[in-house]
Amino acid sequence: MTDITGTGTTLDLGPQAEELARLVAGVGDGQLADPTPCPEYRVRHLLGHLAGLAAAFRDAARKDLGVTTDTSPGSALPDVAPGWREELPKVLAELAEAWRDPAAWTGMTRAGGVDLPGEIAGLVVIDELVIHGWDLARATGRPYAPDQAALRACHDFLAASVDDPDRGEIFGPVVPVGPEASLLARAVGLGGRDPEWAPRP
């Protein structure tokens, strides 16, 4: 069993998935066209991206490879689909359950059309859930309380990528933060976001 928490167990994605589902439930129809910290995404596109990645990494955990795991996230601008309010929380719960299986963290799998070890896929999806949770909270003006174990794993994963020459293909440039910044702000900066981002009035 892969130990990414320092406790001898894999990380339970459930609490972070639940926090994200809470944010999704609070999105108003009038907010779907609002900007997000991702310059190319409006809120509706961010929600569409979350739905796609949740399905892809659910299936990656199950080693159920196919259309969901083979599609590159940059192949088209994502968008919400009919029934997204019911479907997205459901897929997030399925994602968390799939990653509770220790086998999800072992062997090889695929996501976004890229073959990668299960352990790395798990870290990638933790990063996606934590950072995009912040994106959605900031875009919709909601408080955000990420799961602390997921946040720590996200921060450490991003910190390890700082000197990776391929980093620019995945994340934006690191945004420096002050020494007194919170762990969330440091993770957000490492993820290429400005922790002070807010929608323009």
> Quick one: DSSP state of residue 10?
P
Q: What is the pLDDT of residues 87-140, one digit of tens each?
A: 999 999 999 999 999 999 999 999 999 999 999 999 999 999 999 999 999 999
Say if CB 11 and CB 124 are below 8 A apart.
no
User: Per the structure block, which two tokens stand in for 119?
Assistant: 């352990």
Q: What is the pLDDT of residues 68-102, one digit of tens each?
A: 999 887 778 899 999 999 999 999 999 999 999 99
Give pLDDT, residue 10. 79
Say if CB 118 and CB 105 are below 8 A apart.
yes
Residue 8 confidence (pLDDT) above 70: no
Q: What is the pLDDT of residues 174-196, one digit of tens each?
A: 899 988 999 999 999 999 999 99
Distance, CA of 171 to CA of 109 (rounded, Å): 21
Give pLDDT, residue 7. 37
- Region 34-46: what's the mean pLDDT? 94
More confident residue, 161 or 59: 59
Which residues face 188 on adjacent strands?
none
- Angle at the Cα of 122 from the Cα atoms of 58 and 154, rounded to 5 degrees: 125
